[in-house]
Amino acid sequence: MLPARVRWHLGSYSMLSSSTLRQYAAGNKTYKIHYLMRINTWNVTMNMALRQLHYVATIAETGSIAAAARKCRISQSSILLALDLAEIEMGARLFERRPSRGVQATPAGERFLASARRLLAAEAEFERTMERHSQDAPAVLRIGCFEPFGALFMPELLRRFIEKGGVEVQLFEGEQPQLLKWLETNAVDAIVTYDIGAGLPEDAAVVARVPAHALLHVDTSLAKQPAVSLTDLARLPFVLLDLPQTSAYLLTLFDIAGQRPKVAFRTRSYDSVRSAVACGFGFSILNMRPVGKCSPDSDQITRRPLIEDLPAPQLVIADRYGSAKPPFLRRFTNVAQMLFKEIGLPLAGRLGTQ
């Protein structure tokens, strides 16, 4: 937590030095905020616990008092107490209560939340700074990943990284925009995703190249070939993994063949893609495949490499530490690179025939 009596100017604010923060943290454990928030032309002095600020921010995130209480695992009365305190200090209503539709932030609430989120992000950064030089994994490891990875390889990777256990793993699975938001707000220590789309830190570590491949029903004629072409596949019905950025990337691959297939089945679930192919809806194009003991394929489907030499997305690990990455994150990256090298997906490589 941030130390007590930290004076903060949230309009044009600057952080105290790490050494000053450590001195505060060593000498005071009450963890109350005393900061100056400038909103438009008036100043408000606030006395709230960081925990209470988090409660108010969670109301906005979840859209209701009840949902915020469930997420924070506390009573609704505690959430309401934090909100009442914030509104008293601000002298303005922060949320409009809409029956059966949750809450919506007022203009004053939006200004309050913008400042509160900056302070909560600074709190998380302070905590990470204190743990930065630890050789061991933190007591709670928070990793975000592209949603399909959660079942395909993340448990195998995390098991190898943790080794002896004793660490609580919190795996956040989401689409690319959500992952970037979690990274920006310090909800996770790092994210594991593809280098597709904008917004990733420039220093994201490359784990492996992951070429596209075809997923086929075992009884199709193309499944009997060692490799298949996009031209042949384009004549068949397509089972599309319909996630943001992913679907556009997959369909664009067929522009090379000069013909896009007819989409017969759309789903946002990797497992549903496999099931649809196994049930005969058509073929699919994917990049990642199950690793180790994680979520093995049905015996009704098979995977084949593509004949075309296509640009391959890279699997990357991104964080916000910059050049001051803690040892545990460097080790996490090394473990990931070794895992994918073992299965035939090094920093430069192609998917082998299965």
Report the CATH number that the domain containing residue 169 is assigned in CATH: 3.40.190.10
- Same domain, yes or no: 161 and 126: no
Domains in the chain, number: 3
Q: What is the CATH number of the domain that holds 126?
A: 1.10.10.10
Cα dihedral sign for 86, 87, 91, 94?
A: positive
- Same domain, yes or no: 124 and 249: no
What pLDDT was estimated at residue 59? Answer: 92
Report the alpha-carbon angle 218-148-64, nearest 5: 140
What gap in Å lies between CA 274 and CA 259, rounded to an integer?
A: 23
| DSSP letter for each residue of 143-206 | EEEETTHHHHTHHHHHHHHHTT---EEEEEEE-HHHHHHHHHTTSSSEEEEES-SS---TTPEE
What gap in Å lies between CA 13 and CA 6, rounded to an integer?
A: 12
Whether this prediction's pTM lies above 0.85 is answered by no
- Same domain, yes or no: 245 and 273: yes
Residue at 168 is within a domain: yes
- Same domain, yes or no: 333 and 236: no
Q: Range of 39's domain?
A: 9-131
- Same domain, yes or no: 84 and 170: no
- Same domain, yes or no: 29 and 85: yes
- Same domain, yes or no: 63 and 201: no
Residue at 69 is within a domain: yes
Half-sphere exposure of 321 (CA within 13 A, CB side): 23
What does DSSP assign to residue 221? G
- Same domain, yes or no: 173 and 300: no
Residue at 350 is within a domain: no
Residue at 310 is within a domain: no
Q: Compute CA 96 distance to the chain's CA centroid, rounded to the nearest angstrom.
A: 30
In angstroms, the first-to-last Cα distance of the chain is 50
**How do residues 305-328 score in pLDDT, each as one tens digit?**
999 988 889 999 999 888 878 888
Residue at 176 is within a domain: yes
What pLDDT was estimated at residue 125? Answer: 66
**How do residues 81-128 score in pLDDT, each as one tens digit?**
999 988 888 889 999 988 878 899 999 989 999 888 888 877 776 666
Residue at 197 is within a domain: yes
Residue at 288 is within a domain: yes
Residue ranges, the chain, pLDDT below 70: 1-47, 125-137, 164-166, 345-354
- Same domain, yes or no: 52 and 126: yes
What pLDDT was estimated at residue 128? Answer: 61
What gap in Å lies between CA 244 and CA 42, rounded to an integer?
A: 42
Task: Specify whether the CB–CB gap between 48 and 33 falls below 8 A.
Answer: yes
